[in-house]
Amino acid sequence: MKKYSATQAQLRALEEDGVVPGISYCLFEHDWQVEYVSGMARLTPTPEVLRPGMLYDLASLTKVLATTPVIGIYLQEGRLSLDDPVTKYLPAFDDERVRIYHLLTHSSSIGGYIKNRDQLGASQLKEALLTQLSGNKNLSRLIRYADVNFIYLGWIAEQIGGKPIHQLAKELVFDPLGMMETTDHPDPAWTVPTVISPNGVLLRGRVHDPKGAVLGEHCGSAGIFAPLKDVVNFSRALIETNLGGLLTDQTVAQIFSDQTRMPHPHLRGLGWKLIPTPVDKNFLASHTGYTGTWLVLDKQNDRGMVVLTNRVHPTGQNDVFLDRRDQIIATYVREMEKF
């Protein structure tokens, strides 16, 4: 029986049914691996076939491929602590209750409203994010997934490392792992396009996320582009070699176990969402990206699923994709029990 046959059929149907223009995916387990690339890189203004090796806007996968491992390295070196207040590094933020672990687990409940946010320049946006947002009564009570948590973490890493978070990720993570094509300034010709803007301009080679577009290399929540092979390289390295020894057993264990410090499990490790498996009583680490990307990794059994699409092309109005993605992940978890 072909491994993960139902999962693969559902993945291929995303493109075949027109839910996404094209798809690049990899399923792996120990020394077994299957890769698949099919469909279109773009549909309009002129059709273009998706080519192996093209780079995708990873969107929020930036949080776990770039920012989380950089923070993990600094934690291991003792250059910051999970219990440090955010104000130690970002004094303009006025809530002394919020700690580093709140940001990593999305349990900070940081919120607020920034008027005309997407029209602000980088320095204005940074000031607004630091001074117009704060924690609230739900701190350490609810999980509220928010980009601002990882934008803050990116700035904290910059305070420690002295360089923009994207540069730190390249030097500390991507280059050591041989992810040489992973970048925040891709060649547009080799980049899978995302949306067509209201004024008719195709977004290609530039980050889709509005905050990422303004903050550039200083954005810890978005802005990294990569081909399938680099994301697979990272995924295998995380679960097989602790990112080539960049992370310790303890740090990786914190990725794959609940770190919210809240009553009852809330399914958040350091940076990653956790999916419980019914048979192994094991946690899978997962993350998604708005542009149509996702990862599911099983460290205990050395297996994973890497999926890259441009589901926001030509428009981000594609909620059907979200339902299909959740169904595919559920199918994948069920099929794990067979092998």
268-300 pLDDT tens trace: 999 999 999 987 779 999 999 999 999 999 999
> Cα separation of 230 and 182, whole Å?
7
The packing angle between helices 319-336 and 5-16, to 10°, is 170
Q: How many domains, in total, are found in the chain?
A: 1
Q: What is the mean pLDDT of the chain?
A: 96
Confidence at residue 130, expressed as pLDDT on a 0 to 100 scale: 97
| CB-CB contact of 98 with 197 (8 Å) | no
Residue 36 pairs in a beta bridge with 25
Confidence at residue 67, expressed as pLDDT on a 0 to 100 scale: 99
Confidence at residue 265, expressed as pLDDT on a 0 to 100 scale: 81
Q: Work out the percent of the chain whose per-residue pLDDT is above 70.
A: 99
Q: What are phi and psi of 293, to 5 degrees?
A: -115, 150
Q: Can you tell me the mean pLDDT for 29-58?
A: 97
Buried residues in 187-202 as b, exposed as e (16+ CB within 10 A)? eeebbbbbbbeeeeeb
Q: Where are the alpha helices (DSSP H) in 132-202?
A: 147-161, 165-169
> Cα separation of 106 and 152, whole Å?
12
**Of 245, 236, 228, whose CA–CA distance to 304 is shortest?**
236
> Cα separation of 242 and 100, whole Å?
22
Q: Can you tell me the mean pLDDT for 291-315?
A: 97
Q: Is the pLDDT confidence value at 338 over 80?
A: no
> Cα separation of 208 and 119, whole Å?
15
Q: What torsion do the CA atoms of 90, 94, 99, 100 make, to the nearest 10 degrees?
A: -30
Confidence at residue 250, expressed as pLDDT on a 0 to 100 scale: 98
Buried residues in 257-283 as b, exposed as e (16+ CB within 10 A)? ebbbeeeeebbbbbbbbbbebeeeebb
> Cα separation of 290 and 97, whole Å?
30
Kindly report whether the global pTM for this prediction surpasses the value 0.95. yes
pLDDT tens for each residue of 57-104: 999 999 999 999 999 999 999 999 999 999 999 999 999 999 999 999
Residue 113 pLDDT grade (very low, low, confident, very high; cuts 50, 70, 90): confident
Q: Is the pLDDT confidence value at 236 over 80?
A: yes
Residue 264 pLDDT grade (very low, low, confident, very high; cuts 50, 70, 90): confident
* Widest Cα–Cα separation across the chain: 58
Confidence at residue 15, expressed as pLDDT on a 0 to 100 scale: 98
Q: Where are the beta strands (DSSP E) in the chain?
A: 22-29, 32-42, 48-49, 56-57, 225-226, 273-276, 283-289, 293-298, 303-309
CATH of residue 250 = 3.40.710.10
The residue range of the domain holding 154 is 5-336
